Chain A
């Protein structure tokens, strides 16, 4: 029941306007511009109500996207739709920018027409959309293509069409985790969690059924239970306890996870099995979150000393806390310093450190750092006397990339079953890669 969708540039000029319903007047476009884009208000609620018309908006790099509604609709749905729309546009022409939107007017208009019918969101799977909304010129559509499109659009499985063929059946799994940390200055972990994603690139023929196994605590425990049950009754207690201890070491507790629409949720609910027919190409199979037993790849130990009113000493130690054989990359530590800094003297053991006066921060970069290492930066900061107010030390933030999953997440297996075509699980080539990235990784100083 979305009444219309508008896209504006940063100045508030309308790039795209599409109205689906009569109850949205043509002046709604201007109402939003005047009241939101031109109003110099810093932060506003993401839903604005102007003259009984509600505007749901979001902003992506200078472009405003706005959905309009009058009816009483599900607010989360509208935002979910807007993000979906952004995803689709990105997959068609890359970054959302004024230039790209202008170059793709027709495409966007066509897309809007397809994904919203009378304001009701429709199937918005990029794979399917791409099969029949193309920007290729006049290419006569052959009969075969026609049937492919038809089966893609009208099929029961919205995300995969029939008759895909690859010479080599191959799949790639990326486990991408972002670690979030908030640590107090005493080194106490205030809150930490890992938000992980499993991205799969599948190049498989036919309609393969996949089964995906991870070292999730519940599945592993279920299995050990079965194992101990099936093993002969003669096996005494000690053996079963060893079994459980070894598994709990490798298993992780997943707080919560969500799946791509292809995963059969009912099966997950009942058997805790992740089985699905994957879309072709790249897609995000699952997302998960863990909060327990996270191995923090880096530790930042700040030491800030204020010497009088015009001088300050900052010492920051970074310790890497993972196997020495692994190497962390793209390490950047951002140490905020007071705005009234006039001079900074820096000394660091490794990498490069710079004082960025525009950001009021010292930025310390290291290209790579091995495991179980330690590095230190010390800075002497001279301040101009300023008695206006006390500086309230913002947290030190850090970013990095490491080649393992900090949550301990492990892919145990991914099996492919394709009954009609003649290839077996063992013929499929499978690749896994683990990437740990920093999310919001902050240490209060």
Chain B
């Protein structure tokens, strides 16, 4: 029987009991009835509450509990249960944890509205704060701090101050959480709270660290000096803090690094550039200068510590943590090291659609700045048919950014399949992307153009239209070579029906009429015939075409142009009429404005700047990556830019800690008993680093470490066994795995003897195997002895 069923049936039976029992309960509750019941308007409602109230006043615990559940149910649905306040609050003294908890929930919601009555409950919390059980102390503090009643500010302050010194780390953590709440209630207390925060920041247990930093971020993010002394410890403990705490600490550390260390790329920049240009066989001549530059920059050891300690977190299962580490690397790491985040970000593309969208958006910005890091993962950005439209656009954008001369052919082939996808809008975007690739990579411009021209013969209108528009832009960038394409497009003008595409074609004809002087007047003739039925945007371009042709070749087109202008003069659209008036004055009435008319040709056929093929997606790079502001493209409340690196590094000695904190090592050994046996060396550095950064130490004294060594040997043995067994594996499987589908096999029992002894129906004989396993274990060890 599932939990829900049970709770349903109990609540149903409770109702029955509730009525039967009401007479017993009502005696006690008489005093409490009047103030609340007057509030409700609907009689039905009133009755319902009446019934709950009686249940609350009864002396049976299960009735009370059921009543509380119904009250909370009402709150959850958004109904008002405020009139039950007195009846609920007195249950706070209940011995039953479940009831107590629900009363707490109720209090948090309604205390603000009924402050006077809420004060009655305060004494209970104060008692709770002194309870020997740490869980009760913590929850009392948590609820007390959640009650938003200004009159108890001083009580809260006292409670927090006491709890911050509590023995239990869990209570201290709760105290840290409460700080933000109290600050929200009364910002005046800032200075007092900072004192407590300073104390909590120095706490030695990982449980507290996350919440302490959270409080710091909330109350006094500008007091970066409080972090100095704790910086190294926070870095070292980072991997062990809980995942939500890691997020806050990472944010804080990013900011810290940006204010305390110098830009690792600044002096490095030119050098790095030449490094990446190597591929393109462009070596800079001034090598000497750069190597000098390189020597001048040595990364601060604390800066390095941060990067080293955050790197393991890329393996976290929490995608937000991975994102945040990636962001930290993006802002803080030297350019040559950013690439390590790529792999992990690619992995996040496998998670839920929403996270995928956020990650892709961030990758877009990162790829824009550091193309090379995502280059190897090109294929991960291929679009799948079930991607959401935003995901598709971001992938397209990333592919476009990553395109270069070496991979462009595969990308173009991929784009080509997108163009034909059933999602028309996406197809159009893909064409646009092809255009962008063509304009940025000169080697493929021609191929792209040909491809686009090919697309124009497709039946689909949106595809044709988009291709024309993109071709137009491309031609404009480099018109000299492509006379043939222009001719090809001109022939299309009758078939294309989408207005924007028609307008683009007409504009092209007008602009490059000198190249197709034979066609152009004929096109105008055709257009003149259907002028009244065209869309405004097309009419506009017909007028442009007429005017340009008149300037170029007035003899042949004079009458035609006059005709078009006359049609336009009586058009329904005033823009068209105005434009006609302007053009007529310019071309035919030279006496009215001689200065302009003289220059008509210059005006109409002025060289136009080529358009930039821009991304379809707006970047929000001005905001810090991964934050809400970045995602929605506008500054959210409380948004602050990440500060720039200072020109001079701060004094690193401020981070020195004189005394070696002993408790951290204790804690570590408690979690990891094997480590406790290793001797902690290097005390003179004054940092507790050596306990956590195993890599260096292990490399140094691998031989002295007893237990680890032993393990390694074991593993080697295993390895040998594995190899030995690998050929037997097949044999075994052929016997055992006839008709094998998805069944468990035993992990260690693999030696051939087992297989022979084993009955075929392996599932039914688990018990037997258990005993056999020991045998097999000994079997294996003898085998191995022989081998050695």
| Residues of chain A having any CB pair with chain B under 8 Å | 14-18, 21-23, 29, 42-43, 45-47, 49, 52, 54, 56, 58, 69-77, 79-80, 82-83, 92-94, 100, 103-110, 113, 117-118, 120-123, 134-138, 140-141, 146, 149-150, 153-154, 156-158, 168, 172-173, 182, 190-191, 193, 195, 209, 211, 213, 220, 223-224, 226-227, 230, 246-247, 250, 255-261, 264-271, 284, 287, 289, 323, 325-327, 329, 368, 389-390, 392, 394-395, 401, 403, 411-415, 419, 426-427, 429-433, 435, 440, 442, 444
Cα distance, A415 to B608, chains bound together (Å): 73
- In the complex the two chains form, is B181's CB within 8 Å of A72's CB? no
**Cβ–Cβ contact B96 & A106, under 8 A:** no
- A261 cross-chain contacts in B, Cβ below 8 A: 242-243, 316-318
- CA of A390 to CA of B62 in the docked complex: distance in angstroms? 69
A47 to B78, CA, bound (A): 24
Give which listed residue, A104, A122, A250, A431, contacts B745 with CB less than 8 A. Answer: A431
**Known contacts A154-B168, A213-B715, A255-B343; is-contact A110 B101 (Cβ 8 Å):** yes
Q: Identify which of B149-157, B490-498, B575-583, B628-636 touches chain A.
A: B628-636
Contacts of A141 in B (CB 8 A): 97
The reply to whether A135 and B76 contact each other, CB–CB distance below 8 Å, is no
A18 to B106, CA, bound (A): 12
Residue B747, interface by CB 8 Å: yes
Q: Is the CB of A74 within 8 A of B96?
A: no
- Which residues of A lie under 8 Å from residue B695 when comparing CB positions? 269-270
Within 8 A of A (CB), among B290-330: 311-313, 315-320, 322-324
Q: A156 near B670 (CB under 8 angstroms)?
A: yes
Q: Which residues of A contact B422 (CB under 8 A)?
A: 392, 394
B650 at the interface (CB under 8 A from A): no
Inter-subunit contact B637/A256 (CB<8 Å): no
Q: Which residues of chain B are near A182, meaning CB under 8 Å?
A: 382, 384
Determine the residue in chain A with the shortest Cβ distance to B14. Answer: A137
A contact residues around B718 at 8 Å (CB): 213, 412-413
Q: Do A138 and B694 touch (CB < 8 A)?
A: no
- Selecting from B113-121, B353-361, B504-512, the interface stretch reads B353-361
Interface residues of B in 220-260 (CB under 8 A from A): 239, 242-244, 247, 251
Instruction: State the CA gap A14–B77 with chains docked (Å).
Output: 7
Task: Choose one: B62, B78, B343, B742; the contact of A403 (CB below 8 Å).
Answer: B742
Report the separation of the CA atoms of residues A283 and B394 in the bound assembly, to the nearest whole angstrom.
33
Can you give 17 contacting A-B residue pairs, CB < 8 Å? A23-B637, A54-B632, A76-B323, A79-B358, A103-B8, A104-B3, A120-B180, A138-B62, A154-B170, A250-B722, A258-B316, A261-B243, A327-B740, A392-B420, A429-B773, A430-B746, A433-B745
Residue of A nearest to B135 (CB): A150
B315 and A266 form a contact (CB under 8 A): no
Which residue of B has the minimal Cβ distance to A168? B770
Known contacts being A80-B355, A389-B460, is A325 close to B7, with CB within 8 Å? no
**B2 interfacial by beta-carbon distance below 8 Å:** yes
Q: Give the residue name and chain of the B residue nearest to A390 (CB).
A: B459
Query: Is B343 a contact of A433 with CB atoms below 8 Å?
Result: no
Chain B residues, Cβ within 8 Å of A105: 72-73, 76-77
Q: Are A117 and B631 in contact (CB-based, < 8 A)?
A: no
- Does B388 belong to the interface (CB within 8 Å)? yes
**Interface-lining segment among B344-352, B430-438, B540-548:** B344-352
Residue on B nearest A271 in the bound complex, by CB: B698
Please give me the residue from chain A that is nearest to B236 by CB atom.
A266
B315 touches A257 (CB 8 A): yes
Return the contact of A45 from the options B101, B390, B670 (Cβ within 8 A).
Answer: B390
* Residues on A with beta carbons closer than 8 Å to the beta carbon of B414: 190
Contacts A256-B346, A270-B698, A287-B317; A73 near B628 (Cβ below 8 A): yes
**Residues of chain A lying within 8 A (CB to CB) of residue B7:** 103-104, 135
A72 near B635 with CB under 8 A, answer yes
A212 to B489 Cα, complex, angstroms: 65
- Judging by beta carbons under 8 Å apart, are A226 and B712 in contact? yes
Is B719 on the interface with A (CB-CB < 8 A)?
Answer: yes
Question: Inter-chain contact count A-B, CB under 8 Å?
Answer: 354
Nearest neighbor of B68 in chain A, beta-carbon distance: A106
> CB < 8 Å: which of A72, A107, A195 contacts B627?
A72
Tell me the interface secondary structure of chain A in the complex: mixed
Q: Please determine whether B774 and A426 come into contact, CB atoms closer than 8 angstroms.
A: yes
Nearest chain-B residue to A52 (Cβ)? Answer: B637
Residues of A within 8 Å of B744, CB to CB, are 172, 431-433
Chain B residues lying within 8 Å of A392, measured Cβ to Cβ, are 420-422
The answer for the CA separation of A104 and B134 in the assembled complex, in Å, is 29
Assess the A264–B320 pair: CB atoms within 8 A: no
Taking CB atoms, residues of chain B closer than 8 Å to A110 are 72, 101-102, 105
Q: B733: CB under 8 A from chain A?
A: yes
Other A-B pairs, 10, CB within 8 Å; known A54-B632, A123-B244, A156-B206 = A74-B247, A76-B319, A76-B320, A109-B75, A113-B108, A118-B184, A136-B6, A195-B350, A389-B459, A403-B743
B518: interface (CB < 8 Å)? no
Please give the distance in Å from A258's CB to the nearest CB on chain B: 5
Restricting to B199-229, which residues have a CB under 8 Å from any CB of A? 205-207, 211, 214
Of all A-B residue pairs in the complex, the 3 with the closest CB atoms, nearest first, are A154-B170, A430-B747, A431-B744
* Chain B residue nearest to A291 in the complex (CB): B379
Q: Nearest A residue to B177 by beta-carbon distance?
A: A117
Whether B177 contacts A58 by the Cβ 8 Å rule is no
Q: Which residue of B lies closest to A46 (CB)?
A: B354
- CB closest residue in chain A, given B7: A135
**How far apart are the CA atoms of A79 and B361 in the complex, in Å?**
15
A329 to B7 CA separation, bound complex (whole angstroms): 40
If the complex has contacts A54-B628, A431-B745, are A93 and B2 also in contact, measured as CB distance less than 8 A? yes
> Given A77-B320, A120-B177 in contact, is the A58-B740 Cβ separation under 8 Å?
no
Contacting pair B350 A289 (CB below 8 A): yes
| Distance between Cα atoms of A105 and B102 in the complex (Å) | 12
B358, A156: Cβ atoms closer than 8 Å: no
Nearest CB of B to A101, in Å:
10
Q: Within 8 Å CB of A255, what residues of B?
A: 343, 346-347
Question: What is the chain A residue whose CB lies nearest that of B713?
Answer: A230
- Residues of B369-387 at the interface with A, using a CB-CB cut-off of 8 Å, are 379-380, 382, 384-386
Q: Take A29-B78, A137-B62, A268-B315 as given contacts and tell me if A325 and B386 are in contact as well, using a CB distance cutoff of 8 Å.
A: no
**B191 interface residue, CB < 8 Å from A?**
no
B566 within 8 A of A: no
Identify which of A157, A258, A435 contacts B347 (C-beta below 8 A).
Answer: A258
Q: Report A-chain residues with C-beta under 8 Å of the C-beta of B723.
A: 246-247
In the assembled complex, how far is the CB of residue B463 from the closest CB belonging to chain A, in whole angstroms? 10
Among residues of A, the one whose C-beta sits closest to the C-beta of B383 is A182
* CB of B710, distance to nearest CB on chain A (Å): 11
Write out the residue numbers on chain B whose beta carbons fall within 8 Å of the beta carbon of A94.
2
| B741 at interface by CB-CB < 8 Å | yes
Q: Once the chains bind, are B637 and A117 in contact (CB under 8 Å)?
A: no
Q: Do the beta carbons of A58 and B352 come within 8 Å of each other? A: yes
Are B637 and A429 touching (Cβ within 8 A)? Answer: no
B residues 747-771 touching A (CB-CB < 8 Å):
747-748, 766, 769-770
Interface residues of B in 402-426 (CB under 8 A from A): 414, 417, 420-422
Chain A residues within an 8 Å CB radius of B459: 389-390
Q: How far is the CA of A362 from the CA of B675 in the complex (A)?
A: 60
Task: Tell whether A395 pairs with B133 under 8 Å between CB atoms, given A76-B324, A93-B2.
Answer: no
B3 contacts A92, CB within 8 Å? yes
Interface pair A265/B734, CB less than 8 Å apart? no
* Interface: B142 (CB within 8 A): yes
Give A401's nearest chain B residue, CB to CB: B742
Which residues on the B side are within 8 Å of A413 (C-beta)?
A: 715, 718, 747-748
- Chain B residue numbers with a CB within 8 Å of A444 are 417
Judging by beta carbons under 8 Å apart, are A16 and B76 in contact?
yes
- The yes or no answer to B684 lying at the interface (CB within 8 A) is no
B283 on the A face (CB < 8 A): no
**B138 interfacial contact with A, CB 8 Å:** yes
CB of A47 within 8 A of CB of B97, answer no
Q: A134–B69 Cα gap in the complex (Å)?
A: 13
Question: For residue A277, which residue of chain B has the nearest CB?
Answer: B671
Q: How far is the CA of A411 from the CA of B748 in the complex (A)?
A: 10
Cβ contact of A49, chosen from B632, B639, B766, cutoff 8 A: B632
